Amino acid sequence: MLPVQKIAALGALIGLFLAGAVAAADSPPPPDMAVKNEAAQKALAKDAVCTTCHNESWRVPVLSIYQTRHGNRADPKAPNCQSCHGDSAGHQKDPAGVHPDVVFAVNSKNISSPDDRNGACLGCHKTGLRMHWAGSEHQSRDVSCSNCHTVHIPNDPVLAKATQPEVCYACHKTQRAQTHRISTHPILAGKMACSDCHNPHGSTGPKLLVKNSVNETCYTCHAEKRGPFLWEHGPVVDDCSNCHTPHGSTNAPLLKARVPWLCQECHSGDHGAAINSGANLPNGNVTTINGTQPLANQSPRTQMNARACLNCHVLVHGSNHPAGAKFQR
| 8 A C-beta contact, residue 326 and residue 232 | no
Q: What is the DSSP string of 102-149?
A: S---TT-TTPPPHHHHHHHHHTT--SGGGTT-TT-TTGGGT--HHHH-
Q: Per CB under 8 A, does 315 bind other proteins?
A: yes
Nearest residue (CB) to other proteins, 93 versus 289: 289
Cβ-count burial of 106 within 10 angstroms (0-12 exposed, 13-18 middle, 19+ buried)? exposed
What SS3 class is residue 329?
Answer: coil
Could you tell me the CA-to-CA distances from 82 to 24, 58, 89, 92, 102 in Å, in that order? 33, 18, 10, 11, 9
Q: Per CB under 8 A, does 281 bind other proteins?
A: yes
Q: Where in 180-219 is the site for other proteins (CB under 8 A)? A: 180-182, 186, 188-191, 204, 212-213, 216, 219
Q: Which residues contact 261 (CB under 8 A, 6 or more apart)?
A: 276
Q: Per CB under 8 A, does 147 bind other proteins?
A: yes
Nearest residue (CB) to other proteins, 97 versus 291: 291
Q: Per CB under 8 A, does 71 bind other proteins?
A: yes
Residues touching other proteins: how many (CB under 8 A)?
161
Q: Where in 26-45 is the site for other proteins (CB under 8 A)? A: 29, 33-41, 44
Q: Per CB under 8 A, does 135 bind other proteins?
A: yes
Q: Per CB under 8 A, does 226 bind other proteins?
A: yes
Query: Which of 24, 31, 52, 96 is close enough to bind other proteins by CB under 8 A?
Result: 24
Query: Which of 8, 19, 53, 314 is close enough to bind other proteins by CB under 8 A?
Result: 314
Q: Per CB under 8 A, does 170 bind other proteins?
A: yes
Question: What phi, psi does 317 have (nearest 5°)?
Answer: -90, -5
| 8 A C-beta contact, residue 299 and residue 287 | yes
Query: Which of 46, 95, 98, 231 is close enough to bind other proteins by CB under 8 A?
Result: 231
Query: Which of 69, 87, 94, 110 is close enough to bind other proteins by CB under 8 A?
Result: 69
